[in-house]
Structure 1
């Protein structure tokens, strides 16, 4: 006789106490192997595929997609010791019936997520077979089934919209895209995907929602009745205060990574008395030095790696900025190693991967590590360990085409160096006006760890190294 075992949400590390169910990877009645991923959850650090330590038949699932569960809460039950679905009277069978009404879709109709581009799906990656998506047949957003008609009924089949190009399961890049469409009441069969092979991206859903809202807004004035005084009832006089009705507007839950970022930035603004200083620097010589390095052969050196080298050497001269503040003990803690965070833009927002021991790495090593972490962020394989433990952040916002910024310090760090775009500008060089490659550098720092003299000295040293890269030869 099969033994029914309960699998609970495990401790995912990094002090995490809860997680939100994003996508179930198995259905009730499925046979699972030991350590097979069974559910995808979102924590405050990353998206995680959770493997089950038992092998057998899934008899029950606990929690729908979008449900937040604390660590230790039941996730599912597995009948161990048999490969057939449990009989009606078997333990856990009643729970299985109420836990889910989903049925598995044949493998040939599943949409592979191997190249989906999901962001921050961490803690390792499963093989292609384990990562194949299942499409819920009872989901009106996916199938076009009216919410009032049972899935598979004649009414559902008759009334389901048939948009050209979307026969069968709808190819969607991410479960978050499905969730967004479901929240907006959008039928994905009416959306044209711009991804490979018609894959529907988040941007496609957002464009469709915006287009629908614009059409509704344009239609509203024409159909609105006119009151006795000649004005539409819904219009508000400009002389009267505007009150937002309860429930009006779009509400987006601050959960998972976005919620963690919101908490950290709010805490940083609340706790850290920050200040910013900036300077323009002539980066012409630095650009020429990089060109010469790459022309000499071997692995290419990135500009970000050279800026990181300059940054860590400046921190060795001004260690106050590589520190944190312990307000409980009322102490400034100077940190022995530089773990350099850098801002990376992904589909799910801005993340800050951390390069460990950046002060001991060469330009080639830094280039390789920046490339690895950036690709991991884009592909969704960053782990919480990749996103924590930073001591100083390098923010290259120049890639967005802007010159300057006053960013919020990445709590609990003490400073952040910002680098704007490098563009040709008029510059006085050797007493003559010339066109040079100019960059704006900014330093936002915690005024508790140092004063303006220290911050200014750090920023001036960084600018000197940018303008005269030979200054770094003293540190080799």
Structure 2
């Protein structure tokens, strides 16, 4: 006897409460295996393929592409059981299902893994995707479908139509596009991505490819902004426009508010002469040869921060407010603020304390590229213990950063500009920047924070200072 089980949108971590359906990977009526990805969703953090914990026949899908669903809302229903007989159909009408042999062959109908993200659970091999056509359905199975699908709208199936499984055409391969902005732009302008030939590496479809397709069709390109936010923006009195704090902007707003509400922060700053650090970077890159990877300035600053945290471990910590305890952390995971088209994100370089300047530069470059493409995973956006914020790229000198909750400190770096500076007793033009450290006053006093900042400044002004601890 088939049993119809409902799979809801799982908790994707980091307090995220909703996700947008980007692309369905299965159709109603297909046979799916345990842990097979069934839908691609976009959270405020990243793009995620969601695997189904059940094996069987998809009997209903909920949520159109571009629609936002709350965590816990139904995603789909699957008929599982010994014979896997259950109705299924194309969206909105008709039905489909599979017989017991097909369901067993396609990944264990009735078996569940409890997986919520790809890479967890049973790790069973992916199923061959099948289409189905009518065959008789037991009345009990039809009743279960009615009980699950009732009231959920246009994707529910009609149980009276009988089904029978048959092998069908293999499913098309994945679309070579990783940017959610590119997907959204194509969706808003009716461009079928599978018809495009990408101009990026390995055929990757870029935004320019979609815009060319839109231009060829004679349609104006829609702005690649979150459709839900655009649709929900409303005009107020006196020409006001009210935009809901949703998606990434909503997550950032909540996190910043919590940081200011819970953390008694203080900021100290210092102007530093970065001339020697810039010279050291040039020398390091020259020594590596023309084909060697270049070391970025941000990587050198991250390397200096890890050395400073080794001397002042009080700042590599968090506060457990419930237990009223300071939790010092042995490993240093450096987050860095990155501005993207979707908003501010903080990718994380794990075990930064164990990396060389070259390794830090490579990882920072990789994560920056992934941030711009919108392909960062939730794991690459969580777990930082200290954050580096280079707001100098925006042409500003200084700031008082808000701590990335629940961390204990953030170092901000302003732009590096030529300024008059007293150097070796004489006035000279030097490359000067401002460093600012915002710290949680619960984990340390001003002496520790000042010592940390002064050590960082000394390393910037005299990079050889780092050699003392090597």
Once the two structures are TM-superposed, the CA of residue 410 in structure 1 deviates from its matched residue by 0.2
- Work out the CA distance in 1 between the residues paired with 2:174 and 2:325: 52
- Work out the CA distance in 2 between the residues paired with 1:168 and 1:22: 16
Tell whether 2:387 aligns with 1:370. Answer: no
Instruction: Provide the aligned length of Structure 1 versus Structure 2.
Output: 378
- Work out the CA distance in 2 between the residues paired with 1:40 and 1:6: 20
Contact 1:27–1:100 at 8 Å: present in 2 too? no
Once the two structures are TM-superposed, the CA of residue 169 in structure 1 deviates from its matched residue by 10
- Work out the CA distance in 2 between the residues paired with 1:21 and 1:13: 12
Alignment match, 1:443: 437
Q: 2:177 aligns with which of 90, 108, 115?
A: 115
Alignment match, 1:68: 69
Matches within 5 A, 1:323-402: 323-402=317-396
Once the two structures are TM-superposed, the CA of residue 251 in structure 1 deviates from its matched residue by 3.7
Alignment match, 2:7: 8
Q: Deviations over 1:180-218 (max 9, x none)?
A: xxxxxxxxxxxxx865552679x9534999xxxxxxxxx
User: What TM-score does the superposition give when structure 2 sets the normalisation length?
Assistant: 0.68
Once the two structures are TM-superposed, the CA of residue 6 in structure 1 deviates from its matched residue by 3.2
Q: Deviations over 1:434-475 (max 9, x none)?
A: 221111111111122222222222111111110000101101
* 2:180 match: secondary structure: coil
Once the two structures are TM-superposed, the CA of residue 170 in structure 1 deviates from its matched residue by 11
- Work out the CA distance in 2 between the residues paired with 1:344 and 1:87: 52
User: How has the CA–CA distance of structure 1 residues 419 and 167 changed in structure 2, closer, same or farther, with 3 Å as cutoff?
Assistant: closer
Q: Deviations over 1:93-125 (max 9, x none)?
A: 995995349xxxxx9xx9985235227x9xxxx
Alignment match, 2:449: 455
Once the two structures are TM-superposed, the CA of residue 80 in structure 1 deviates from its matched residue by 4.0
* 1:99 match: secondary structure: coil
* 2:249 match: secondary structure: helix
Tell whether 2:258 aligns with 1:267. Answer: yes
User: What TM-score does the superposition give when structure 1 sets the normalisation length?
Assistant: 0.68
Flag structure 2 segments of 5+ consecutive residues without an equivalent: 80-96, 103-129, 157-168, 199-206, 227-234
Once the two structures are TM-superposed, the CA of residue 13 in structure 1 deviates from its matched residue by 5.1
- Work out the CA distance in 1 between the residues paired with 2:7 and 2:136: 24
Once the two structures are TM-superposed, the CA of residue 23 in structure 1 deviates from its matched residue by 2.7
- Work out the CA distance in 2 between the residues paired with 1:466 and 1:439: 10
- Work out the CA distance in 1 between the residues paired with 2:433 and 2:11: 42
- Work out the CA distance in 1 between the residues paired with 2:13 and 2:385: 17
Once the two structures are TM-superposed, the CA of residue 272 in structure 1 deviates from its matched residue by 1.1
Flag structure 1 segments of 5+ consecutive residues without an equivalent: 102-106, 122-131, 144-165, 174-192, 210-242
Matches within 5 A, 1:49-68: 49-52=49-52, 58-64=58-64, 65-68=66-69
Q: 2:222 aligns with which of 201, 205, 211?
A: 205
Alignment match, 2:202: none
- Work out the CA distance in 2 between the residues paired with 1:17 and 1:117: 20
* 1:198 match: secondary structure: helix
Once the two structures are TM-superposed, the CA of residue 51 in structure 1 deviates from its matched residue by 2.8
Provide the aligned C-alpha RMSD in A: 4.1
Matches within 5 A, 1:216-295: 245=237, 249-295=240-286
User: How has the CA–CA distance of structure 1 residues 168 and 348 changed in structure 2, closer, same or farther, with 3 Å as cutoff?
Assistant: closer
